[in-house]
Amino acid sequence: MKQLLLIAGWLFVGATCAQPPLKTGNVILVTLDGMRWQEVFGGADSALMKQQKFLKDEHLAEKYWRSDPAAGRAALFPFLWSTVATQGQVHGNRNVGSKVNVTNQLWFSYPGYNEILTGSADDGRITSNDKKENPNVTVLEFIHDQPGFKGRVAAFTSWDVFAWIINRSRSGIYVSAGLEKPSGPVLTQREELLNQMLATTPNPLGDVRLDAFTFYYGMEYMKSKKPRVVYFAFDETDDFAHMGEYAGYLNSAHAADGFLSELWNYVQSDPFYANKTTLLITVDHGRGTSATEWKSHGKKIANADEIWFAVIGPDTPGTGEQQTGQFYQNQFATTIAKLLGVEYQPGGKVGEALPVIVRRH
């Protein structure tokens, strides 16, 4: 009898502890370089709209300014607030008590992207935006080395430094960065057209590829290669902010929202991705808050460590805009791995997976 009771106890514990598998089979990570949480949650700032020098837009207020912050943010980011905020989650509105911060102490791009992709700050070695091969193993590289993911991880980035951040030479990941164009004997017609346009389109950003090219190169790759993990890194918001071009900053943010909408509509229409793909959107750093300091970031700029993130996918409860919580940039890498059923063990201490966005069914 005791043995029967013991066996029954084991069965009960096993039944209650066993959790069904996650539905996510693919993850898409998107970053908008230096996009402030203030506009994401409050819409365009009317006090900054006159900061237009070369990239002028006489219709800026008509397009984005609303007296009601909720209406303003919906005008600037219609997909984020109509779809992600209703079917997924949006974190980082500090005005209502939701906080997200970086843990690195430098508050600029390479340290931020290293933290996103590795789950840990490395202020001792990642101290500049120089083209230095990342000594740390990113979650992209770690996943790429797991069964079922070899050759199924790709990154499309407007900033050319990502070839070093992701350490393309060591990781073997397909990285399309900066002004690089796809090459090879088999290109789609759209890739050939994009290559022609990239070579002939005036570009005010120099070595930074315009985000539209980055996006459509990535979309073509997804349609033809069906990668399981894709990273899109858009850069225009940061470039135009540094220039003090608020119109360019807002228009690029709005365009990025349009890319997200097109991306999600494609994902949900393709049987390979539909209902088994999680989309995570975030940023590398914040910015200042004054009329001058919004253009900048870095450890000398107050509040530039404040960021935000949004997520939508089959394993994330659709609880919308969050009113509470404190989360950190170093939690994204482990979360991405966990969603894919991979235990991320890069060899160092990393942030814990975000419990609020990973739901067992």
* pLDDT tens digits, 78-97: 999 999 999 999 999 999 99
> 10 Å Cβ neighbour count for 64?
24
Range of the domain at 257: 24-357
In a domain, 1, yes or no: no
In a domain, 14, yes or no: no
Average pLDDT, the chain: 94
Half-sphere exposure of 236 (CA within 13 A, CB side): 23
Residue 235's contacts (CB-CB under 8 Å, 6 or more residues apart) are 33, 157, 158, 159, 205, 208, 209, 211, 214
Helix and strand numbers (H, E) in the chain are: 15, 10
In a domain, 3, yes or no: no
In a domain, 15, yes or no: no
In a domain, 184, yes or no: yes
**What local confidence, expressed as pLDDT, does residue 21 receive?**
86
**What local confidence, expressed as pLDDT, does residue 361 receive?**
57
pLDDT at 10 over 50: no
**What local confidence, expressed as pLDDT, does residue 186 receive?**
87
- Please write the tens of the pLDDT for every residue from 146-195: 999 999 999 999 999 999 999 999 999 999 999 999 887 889 999 999 99
**What local confidence, expressed as pLDDT, does residue 16 receive?**
38
| C-alpha distances out from residue 320 to 93, 125, 185, 197, 278, Å | 12, 37, 45, 39, 15
**What local confidence, expressed as pLDDT, does residue 345 receive?**
84
In a domain, 318, yes or no: yes
Distance separating alpha carbons of residues 9 and 174, to the nearest angstrom: 50
What pLDDT band is residue 19 in, cutting at 50, 70 and 90?
Answer: low
- Mean per-residue pLDDT for 122-133? 98
In a domain, 6, yes or no: no
**What local confidence, expressed as pLDDT, does residue 6 receive?**
43
Distance separating alpha carbons of residues 167 and 177, to the nearest angstrom: 12
User: Cβ(126)–Cβ(109) under 8 Å?
Assistant: no
Q: CATH code at 226?
A: 3.40.720.10
What pLDDT band is residue 360 in, cutting at 50, 70 and 90?
Answer: low
- Please write the tens of the pLDDT for every residue from 38-63: 999 999 999 999 999 999 999 999 99
How many domains does the structure of the chain reveal?
1
In a domain, 2, yes or no: no
pLDDT at 243 over 60: yes
